[in-house]
Amino acid sequence: MSPRAGRERFADSRERLSSSRITILAEGAFGVETAKTASSAVRYQPERVCSVIDSRFAGQTVGETLGFGGDIPIVATFEEAMAVGPRPDALLVGIAPQGGRLPEAWRAVLVAALGLGMDIISGLHFFLSDDAELAALADRHGCALFDLRKPPDDLPVGTGRAMRTEAFRVLTVGTDCNTGKMTVSLELQRALAERGVRAAFAATGQTGILIAGTGIAVDAVVSDFISGAAERLTLEAAADGEAEIVLVEGQGSLMHPGYSGVTLGLLHGTLPQAMILTWMPSRPRIYGGNHSWVVLPELDEVIQRYEGALAWACPEIPGRVIGVSLATYDISEDEARAAVRHAREVTGLPATDPIRFGAAPLADAIIQARDAHAASA
């Protein structure tokens, strides 16, 4: 069955985006931090991933390289990816670098994939559908170009309508960017489901959209409309009345000079009744060399800043941080346990690494906060 014929199994574009078989292009960058889109696809939807392209690790499996992902093969070239395992329907651009440009050396791979009738999924700020060559090839071969970061063109300015949801609103926020806000959101959705609680995940970044099949990449939204985008996502996640809790994926950090604007827009658009703070203990300064002059404050001070910023917009909402989620994949287990203890001692809140130690303490904290809110309403 060819990729084009196989596409008949998709009922709509959302299913086509979130269910197609993919090969991941991550040449020279495959890793947890350097290719977050690729590694998250492997963690949360391994059954979709046919192969990963990165010549540095060719011949290894994803599990051997990342520590998770099992026997998914890593190959050196696109041609090898087409020759191993099940034939993919789509090619995923597995990186989302600062600035979001398409590496020029990768264009030939995208052209080859389109020539085989494969969809292209990209989280770059560079929109493939705006590229004349790629758009013409996609049209000729009946392919879809999924630009995950391309926002809707009818976003409103935020007006506080998120306060009308019956579902309990939870936003993940961070000491820094790339500290696990999407990861803990997805882990919490699973942990809450295990407790019989219906939780909806509102994706606000390219990787979350890939996994959920829907969402808005708020870092590509014109600044006036970021809170409106967050508001829309929150309302849509709660719209059908099925969700008891809405988990909104956070972005950036109030502490980050480069990305604080998108964080504040999310905070004021979602108007959360609770927040989960994410923290990477090995990082005393802001991520990336361009902002390493910013020393991160202690956790209790970070919490005060988030709760204060929320109060600017809506002081009557008792929105507060109710737990701390750690990302400890780059330190030993003993160091991770010590960091969890530190977070608990400094904040007085439940804390865990949801991947290493499970999300149960944070899921329980959300249920308790929801119940307390309902009792006081």
Is 330 found in the same domain as 196?
Answer: yes
Instruction: List phi, psi (to 5°) of 45.
Output: -140, 55
pLDDT over 90 at 42, yes or no: yes
pLDDT of residue 121: 95
Q: How far apart are CA 331 and CA 311, in angstroms?
A: 35
Q: How far apart are CA 110 and CA 129, in angstroms?
A: 12
Identity of residue 266? L
The answer to whether position 249 is within a domain reads: yes
Is 295 found in the same domain as 212?
Answer: yes
Range 38-67 average pLDDT: 94
Is 67 found in the same domain as 172?
Answer: no
Closest among 25, 181, 2, 189 to 94, alpha carbons compared: 25
Boundary of a domain, candidates 82, 114, 147: 147
The answer to whether position 155 is within a domain reads: no
Range 348-354 average pLDDT: 98
The answer to whether position 357 is within a domain reads: yes
Is 280 found in the same domain as 172?
Answer: yes
pLDDT of residue 3: 39
Is 136 found in the same domain as 252?
Answer: no
Q: How far apart are CA 375 and CA 364, in angstroms?
A: 17
Boundary of a domain, candidates 116, 147, 178: 147
If phi > 0 it is left, if psi is from -120 to 50 it is alpha, else beta; for residue 41 that is alpha
pLDDT over 70 at 345, yes or no: yes
Q: How far apart are CA 266 and CA 252, in angstroms?
A: 10
Closest among 259, 234, 268 to 249, alpha carbons compared: 234
The answer to whether position 153 is within a domain reads: no
Instruction: List phi, psi (to 5°) of 174.
Output: -135, 155
The answer to whether position 45 is within a domain reads: yes
pLDDT over 90 at 136, yes or no: yes
Is 22 found in the same domain as 138?
Answer: yes
User: Rounded to the nearest 10 degrees, what angle do helices 181-194 and 360-376 cross at?
Assistant: 70
Predicted confidence band of residue 320 (pLDDT cuts 50, 70, 90): very high
> What does the angle CA 8 – CA 12 – CA 15 come to, to the nearest 5 degrees?
90
Is 344 found in the same domain as 289?
Answer: yes
The rounded radius of gyration (Å) of the Cα atoms in the chain is: 20
Number of domain units in the chain: 2
Range 311-327 average pLDDT: 87
Predicted confidence band of residue 97 (pLDDT cuts 50, 70, 90): low
Is 299 found in the same domain as 176?
Answer: yes
Which of these ranges, 33-42, 193-202, 349-358, has the smallest mean pLDDT? 33-42
Domain that holds residue 227: 161-376
Q: The CATH number of the domain where 275 resides is what?
A: 3.40.50.300
Which of these ranges, 14-23, 47-56, 73-82, has the smallest mean pLDDT? 14-23
CB contact at 8 A, 321 and 173? yes
Is 139 found in the same domain as 244?
Answer: no
pLDDT of residue 317: 67
Distances, alpha carbon 239 to alpha carbons 153, 198, 200, 232, 242, in Å: 21, 13, 10, 10, 8
CB contact at 8 A, 253 and 175? yes
Q: What is the pLDDT of residues 217-227, one digit of tens each?
A: 999 999 999 99
Is 256 found in the same domain as 138?
Answer: no
Q: How far apart are CA 366 and CA 349, in angstroms?
A: 12
Is 231 found in the same domain as 353?
Answer: yes
Is 166 found in the same domain as 140?
Answer: no
Residue indicated by tokens 């009345």: 241
Boundary of a domain, candidates 122, 147, 172: 147
Q: The CATH number of the domain where 105 resides is what?
A: 3.40.50.720
Closest among 169, 112, 170 to 143, alpha carbons compared: 112
